[in-house]
Amino acid sequence: MIDQLKRHPFPVVAHFKFSLVLSYALPQEVLRPLLPPHLELDTFNDFGFVTVAMVQTENLRPAGFPEWIGQNFFLIGYRLFVRYHTINGKRLRGLYILRSETDKLLMKTLGNMLTHYQYSLTDIQWNIKEKSISVVSKVSDLHVDVQWNDEHSQLPENSVFTNWKEARRFAGPLPFTFDFEPKTNHMTIIEGVRENWAPLPVNVQTAKIGFLNNTPFDHTELQLSNAFVVQNIPYRWEKGRIENVLQ
């Protein structure tokens, strides 16, 4: 029963005031041990990617419920870009969640009740202006400052991508999130539905990410390769679809 509850048991909707995403390239062999069975890295040349998403979320609630019961909170999510082959032979692109942080105790509680996304509580201060965003957390040892210009924002200096067209492929929307249960050999597939997803490249002024000081990230060079923001996004997660991967 507990396993079933953690499989994203009903559709959820929310509104993203903004989602700021930084993606770091690492050698595949560094990231591969972090994956559960049946998922593989989504790669570019010889690199896999760990991505940090900072999202101001508004009116999160079960689909069909009124906005006034929705929850507002900030989310920091640490993910890997992955691929999955379904039992029907389809090849899906998406995300595998390593860890999640939020500034609301209720969201930590509900997140850990309904998912395996490993929510923890943190402090978060954020500020958004017309063309800049700042996010700071003492507990998470995180400090990110970005700015953008609609015409002239560039890829990070050490990006593994040579142009925005290449980077855009890893700027979403990636339609699926995957969660594997070793005890049951079930893969949960959660489809995300977005509107108006138009990522805008940003110039990164400061990028201190405490999570990336942990093993295995601290034993290799991380190359900041992609940074973008999206704003005012209606978002929906469908009910999790379950596959028995041993079939």
| Successive 10-residue mean pLDDT values, the chain, 247 residues | 69 95 97 96 96 97 93 97 94 96 95 89 97 98 93 85 92 89 91 89 96 93 96 93 82
**What pLDDT was estimated at residue 98?**
97
Q: How far apart are CA 169 and CA 182, in angstroms?
A: 30
Are 24 and 49 spatial neighbours (Cβ–Cβ below 8 Å)? yes
Amino acid at 161: F
Distance CA 44, CA 165 (A): 13
Rounded to the nearest 5 degrees, what angle is found at the Cα of 101, between the Cα atoms of 178 and 69?
Answer: 85
Whether the full predicted model's pTM is greater than 0.85, yes or no, is yes
Yes or no: is domain 2-244 CATH 2.40.400.10? yes
Reduce the DSSP state of residue 166 to 3 states and report it: helix
Give the count of beta carbons closer than 10 Å to the beta carbon of residue 238. Answer: 17
Q: Is 6 exposed, middle or buried (0-12, 13-18, 19+ CB in 10 A)?
A: middle
* Amino acid 149: pLDDT: 84
Return the DSSP state at 36. Answer: P
Q: Which residues contact 66 (CB under 8 A, 6 or more apart)?
A: none
The pLDDT of residue 16 is 96
